Structure 1
Amino acid sequence: MSTQLVNDVTFELDGYHELEVTSDFHIMVEKNKQIELLLNEKGNLKIKGQITLDEGSRCNVLFMNECDDLQMDLEIHQKRDSNIQAGFYELNENTSMINIQSHLDEEGASVTLVKSSITNAKKRYDIECIHHAPHTHSEMKNFEISNENADYKIRACGTIEKGAYQSQSHQMSRILTTSDHQRSEAIPVLLIDENDVAASHANSMGKMDDDYLYYLKSRGIKEEQARELLTLSYLLPISEILDREETKEMLTQKIRSRAGL
């Protein structure tokens, strides 16, 4: 059972929490604490959020978008040696406009952002990880299934500022299209102002690979089941955001149901 997320909440103890997002919010994780959050979004929301991690803290947070319409601006700020894994889960057929800025403010901070969606509606995402300090690490993983009538666009940007040496910024987008009557676009961006860094991006877009389908069918799996299994492979990474087994099982079942399995 989730409780309502108030405007400002500070976590001073380790643990798992389920919260319902109803308005603007600021989540703060104290020094050296380990927090898992499941944030439920429902209804029509136009919100601004901020997550702040103190030194040495760890936060795994999953946003479950079940809104009719969602507009969200999210900022993440991290101090020294903090770690956040944030997942954005969307299996609905409704409009989303999501902007995320992740600021790695101090040395040793690391962030992983995972987005998983399946839609035939309009979705817009703008995600940026900004390295302000050395020895910081960011990773963006985007998984999308665009069905008929989908209008999907994502911009993923890794920014490494001058002085953020020995930092790493990596991103990957995989878009599976199931219809000729859809529009999908992925825009990878790297803005690098430092020499001693590692950065990369990888994009793939298209229909299901006939070789994969052939391989599965050669193992006795019917074509419809093979297509469902390949669909599932695009969506399941989101279930790894949270460590709590009950929550992972719930997410897996929701994804299997949405994929028709």
Structure 2
Amino acid sequence: MTTETILPVDAARLSELSQANSEPGWLQDSRLKALELAAELALPRLEKTRIDRWDLSKYGSYKTVQALQSLEEAPASVAALVKDQEQGSLIIQRNSGTVYVRLAPELAAQGVIFTDLQTAVKEHGELVRRYLHQAVKPDEHSLAALHAALWNGGVFLYVPKNVIVDTPVQAILLTDDAEAAFVPHILVVADANSSVTYVDNYVSDKSEAGLHNGAVEVFVGAGAKVQYASVHQLGADTTDVTYRRAVVENDGSIEWIVGEMNYGDTVSDTKSILKGNGSSSNAKVIAVGSGAQKLNYTTQAQHFGRNTPSDMITRAVMRDSATSIINGITKIEKGATRADGQQTEKVLMLSPKARGDANPILLIDEDDVTAGHAASVGRVNEEQVYYLMSRGISKHDAETLVIYGFLAPVVSQIPLEGLRNQLQSLVERKLGQ
């Protein structure tokens, strides 16, 4: 049985919006075709999660935004995140559009492009067109199609051949108007032998229901290295659906660092496509669920190239009556000889009503490979708590230490000090410390 998709906008209105934003004809056509697909396609099928029961209709409508003249005008909810960023490369999106863009002059001089996606479409149209919707395809399901039809604001990052970007570039994506559509699209292209670290934060500051339908596409050229770090801290009012995809060429590498700190229902799907020989992927995901959240986290690695290692680690802590489905999928295609796919999923439950389900999946169509998985679901180890209490530590502090010890193998591997500190603070907040 399929659920009929109720479109949040009709073709005439979508064309009108595209023309009002002075978009090129090819993009307008792309949006309209995606809207047609959305009416035909079903919702994504998720492991043990009835997403058809979720309210996925709260898109809002496109609203124009007022640009910030300086970071001093940034909303309070993002002020701490942009502290000391006056000289760095930074993009801020607020609801339907971008309000602040800054690219460090030294990066601009090297040919780096870092701007909002809607501007990039106008100024670098052929480059954007070559990659847009090639990793997260509109025909995957109705949510992907609606995203392709409705995306706004977003980020475009391009790093030319042989350019090494030493300092992270950052984006803040804020939703604080329940009536405004918030559908950002992130597109990162790292050309051959380049290197870059991109960090973004998703923040909400509102009390009415809303939806974030987001997509991330990363293209890693031969010998290039991309480190992609993302923290989602959207409120209980916001349903978050995010699909991330990376396509990695010969000897390229992608490292995902994802912090899922939302308070609302969440679908998060992060996939690396190891297309080239010698390409590699490393994914680290930490999540904390609270209240009555329903959470579905999937991490995937698909191996096509030879000699391709992938490693995926997910650690989730569930409290109150939160429920989570943690999926790890390693797919090794025929011909991907000497591929090595490893994955670990662990869930720690802090209350009798919390639920966690870890599902490691290995799909292997080649003989000459290495693959392995580990998964566990359990509660706080009472013996560890008792041992710490016997050393004079209170039960509350003992349980806290056990939880931090559970998350430490992922958090400690995050190479960005600022991101480590931010995640630590968010974990403490979600755990009520």
Please say whether Structure 1 and Structure 2 have the same fold, judged by a TM-score greater than 0.5. yes
Q: What's the CA shift for 1:221? A: 2.0
Instruction: Pick which of 60-69 and 245-254 moved more.
Output: 245-254
**Cross-structure match for 1:40:** 201
Question: Moved runs in structure 1, 4+ residues, more than 4 A?
Answer: none
Q: Which has the higher strand share?
A: 1
Partner residue in 1 for 2:397: 225
Contact 1:132–1:160 under 8 Å retained in 2 = yes
Identify the residue that residue 280 of structure 2 maps to in structure 1.
Answer: 110
Deviations 1:152-196 (A, max 9, x none): 112211011111111110111110011121222111100011111
Cα distance change on mapping 1:42 and 1:256 into 2, 3 Å: closer
- 1:208 correspondence with 2:380: yes
Report the Cα distance in structure 2 between the residues aligned to 1:24 and 1:254, rounded to whole angstroms. 24
Rg larger in structure: 2
Among candidates 134, 145, 155, match of residue 327 of structure 2: 155
Change beyond 3 A, Cα 1:212–1:93? same
**Residue identity in the other structure for 2:384:** Y
185 and 245 in structure 1: CA distance in 2 versus 1, 3 angstrom threshold:
closer
The Cα offsets for residues 5-38 of structure 1, whole Å up to 9 and x where unpaired, read as 6233212341311113451221111222221121
The residue that corresponds to 1:30 in the other structure is 191
Contact 1:125 1:155 (8 Å CA) reproduced:
yes
Letter in 2 for 1:109: S
Q: Aligned with 1:174: secondary structure? A: strand
Could you tell which deviates more after superposition, 16-25 or 56-65?
16-25
Aligned to 1:250: 422
State the alpha-carbon separation in 1 of the partners of residues 417 and 158 from structure 2. 25
Cross-structure match for 2:158: 10
How far apart, CA to CA, are the structure 2 residues paired with 1:49 and 1:147? 29
Aligned-residue identity in percent: 21
Q: How far, CA to CA, are the matches of 1:208 and 1:73 in structure 2?
A: 31
In the alignment, is the contact (CA less than 8 A) between 1:60 and 1:242 conserved in 2? Answer: no
Aligned residue among 43, 51, 62 for 2:218 = 51
Q: Which has the higher relative contact order, 1 or 2, with Cα contacts under 8 A spaced 6 or more apart? A: 1
Which among 82, 92, 100 is matched to residue 252 of structure 2?
82
Partner of 2:364: 192
Per the normalisation by structure 2, the TM-score is 0.57
Normalising to structure 1: TM-score of the pair?
0.92
How many matched pairs? 261
Distance in 2 between the 1:106 and 1:137 partners? 11
Return 5+ residue gaps in structure 1 as ranges. Answer: none
Pairwise CA distance, 1:238: 4.6
CA distance, structure 2, for counterparts of residue 36 and residue 241 of structure 1: 15
Aligned equivalent of 2:229: 62
Classify 1:165/1:241 alpha carbon distance in 2 versus 1 (closer, same or farther; 3 Å): same
* Structure 1 residues 237 and 63, CA gap change in structure 2 (3 angstroms): farther
Paired AA for residue 102 in structure 1 = S
User: Is this contact kept in 2: 1:29–1:54, CA < 8 A?
Assistant: yes
SS state of the match for residue 168, structure 2? strand
Query: In the superposition, relative to structure 1, how do residues 240 and 57 fare at CA in structure 2: closer, same or farther (>3 Å)?
Result: farther
Q: Pairwise mapping of residues 85-164 of structure 1 onto structure 2 (< 5 A)? A: 85-120=255-290, 121-164=293-336
Shift of 1:75: 1.1
What residue ranges of structure 2 are gaps of 5+ in the alignment? 1-81, 83-89, 93-114, 118-155, 174-182, 205-210
